[in-house]
A and B are shown apart, each in its own frame.
Chain A
Amino acid sequence: EAQVTQNPRYLITVTGKKLTVTCSQNMNHEYMSWYRQDPGLGLRQIYYSMNVEVTDKGDVPEGYKVSRKEKRNFPLILESPSPNQTSLYFCASLSPGLSEQYFGPGTRLTVT
C-alpha cells in the first residue's frame, strides 16, 4: 500500500529542546515536502526536497531544518523549538507533476 508515515503523531515538548519528526514514503517519489497547518492559514510549506541531497526553503522555513540523505526519508528538525512552532505538521510525497499526492497523517506538536 502506498503511504507516507510520520512519527510521532503527537508530541509535547519544552522550549529549546531539540526534536525530530520523521517522515518516510514507500513510493520511490523524488519530491517530498513539509507543511504546517494553522487555523485560518491553511497549509504553508516549510521545506521541500526535489531529490536526495537537494533541499530548499518553502514559505516559512525559519526555525526548521531538513535533510534528505535517502529517497524515502525526509526528517524535519527543530533545533530549538519555540511556542510559535506549536502546530500540526504534514509531510507529503509527490509524484512527478504532482498528479498523485500523498500526505502523512500529521504530527501535532505543542511547545510550552
Chain B
Amino acid sequence: GNSVTQMEGPVTLSEEAFLTINCTYTATGYPSLFWYVQYPGEGLQLLLKATKADDKGSNKGFEATYRKETTSFHLEKGSVQVSDSAVYFCALIQFSGGYNKLIFGAGTRLAVHP
C-alpha cells in the first residue's frame, strides 16, 4: 500500500543553519504531497503542499519540490530560527474506497538552538 518514510530525528541545528528533512513515498499514481508542522502543545498545521510532479510548495521560508523520479518531497529551509523548533510530518493523499485519505510519515522533530 501507500506509505511515507521520513528521516529519523531529532534533528538539532544552530540558528541560521540550513535545514533538510528527507521524505520519500510509495504510492500508486500521482498523489498530492504535504508537509505539516506541529508546534509544542498544538495540533497539526498545513505548512505547504504540491499537487503534481515538479511543483514546488513554499511557505514561511520552507520549500519542498515534488520529485516523481525519486519519489521524494524533501523539506528545506535556508536559515532556521529557534521558532522553527517543532515536529514536521510528511504526508500524501491516498484515494481509497471513494474518498481521500491522508497517509502520514512518522514525523521528524527539529530542535533549533540559539
Q: Which residues of A contact B (CB under 8 A)?
A: 4, 31, 33, 35, 37, 40-45, 48, 50, 56, 58, 90, 92, 94, 97-98, 100-101, 103-106
Among the listed B41, B44, B46, B106, which residue makes an inter-chain contact with A90, where contact means beta carbons less than 8 Å apart? B44
Map CB proximity to A onto B5-25 as digits: 1 under 8 Å, 0 otherwise: 000000000000000000000
List B contacts of A98 (CB < 8 A).
Answer: 32, 93, 100, 102
Complex Cα gap A106–B89 (Å): 16
Q: Give B residues with C-beta under 8 Å from A.
A: 4, 32, 41-46, 89, 93, 97, 99-102, 104-107
Contact among A50, A58, A94, A105 for B43, CB-based, below 8 A: A105
Q: SS class of chain B's interface: helix, strand, loop or mixed?
A: strand
**A42 and B100 form a contact (CB under 8 A):** no
Give the residue name and chain of the A residue nearest to B45 (CB): A103
From A90, which residue of chain B is reached at the shortest CB distance?
Answer: B43
Query: Is A45 in contact with B89, judged by CB distance below 8 angstroms?
Result: no
Report the nearest B residue to A6, measured CB to CB.
B43
Question: Of A33, A42, A58, A103, which is within 8 A of B106 by CB?
Answer: A42
**Assuming the A-B contacts A40-B106, A41-B106, A42-B104, are A50 and B42 also in contact, with contact meaning beta carbons closer than 8 angstroms in the complex?**
no
Q: How far is the CA of A72 from the CA of B4 in the complex (A)?
A: 30
Query: Does the CB pair B42–A48 fall under 8 Å?
Result: no
